[in-house]
Amino acid sequence: MPAAIRIVLVDTSHPGNIGASARAMRNMGLDTLVLVRPQAAADAESLARAAGGADLVLAARIEPSVDAAVAGCGLVFGTSARARSANFRVLEPRAAAAELVAASAARPAAVLFGGERNGLCNEDLARCHALIRIPADPGYESLNLAQAVQIVCYEIRQATGAASAPPAAEPPASVHELQALYAHLEAVAGRAGFLHAGNAAQLAPRIRRLLARAVPDAGEVRILRGLLAAIERRLPPEAPGT
């Protein structure tokens, strides 16, 4: 089970936080660490702060993008320290962990943690099915990166011990399958005149988040793309040069 859930650190600026996060993972039995665009390489401080998790730092994959980091994953959650008003489904760590453990029985899952200064950017959040928000005192909600990793990993460990539900008949659609669905839907909606230059920037992200909240499985994505293909066949041909 541990290898089926990836901890993905995005744009980490302090190498010591990589080591402390690895230690938190080792404490809770998780062992798959992925680094996306780390701003500084792991160093002696990273290994010292990792303690018994130094091997996780040394074995961590380094990827240029979130897409590469979550390749092959089904469920992907992102962490956020602030409330988001963009129609994301927001979960507390315990509920999120239960979903991650259940989904990872069929296909790898991932949790994204953003950089220390700004967290996850909108482009990275767009790859997430939902957000994890750790409740804290409203007067001071800022958690250190490794503290956030520790809390989420603890809940994953608890959920792993409590998991008894059988895996879903079909795993959640992968990030790449969802991205292909989004592109297909937006292309068809554009040809139909529903999306256009005046509204696409606002509507397209909302449609994507609506679909992400539904957490469709791979078969459901195929059904939706089949429906879109049938609609495409009924639309008039595109004008040359469009």
Residue 210: C-alpha distances to residues 85, 126, 206 (Å) = 13, 11, 6
What residues does each domain of the chain span?
2-162, 175-234
DSSP H helical segments within the chain, as ranges?
Answer: 15-28, 44-50, 54-59, 66-69, 93-104, 122-125, 145-162, 175-191, 200-214, 218-234
- In this predicted structure, which of 55-64, 131-140, 168-177 has the lowest mean pLDDT? 168-177
pLDDT at 242: 57
Integer Rg of the chain from CA = 19
Please give the Cα distance from 50 to 45 (Å, whole number).
8
Say how many residues make up the chain: 242
Q: Who has greater pLDDT, 166 or 231? A: 231
CATH code linked to domain 175-234: 1.10.8.590
Confidence check: pLDDT of 82 > 80: no
* Residue pLDDT, tens place only, 61-70: 999 999 999 9
Q: Please provide the CATH number assigned to the domain covering 2-162.
A: 3.40.1280.10
Instruction: Over range 76-91, report the average pLDDT.
Output: 81
**Environment class of 77 (CB within 10 Å of its CB; exposed 0-12, middle 13-18, buried 19+):** buried
Question: Per mean pLDDT, which range of 83-97, 123-137, 213-227 is the poorest?
Answer: 83-97
Give me the pLDDT at residue 1, please: 47
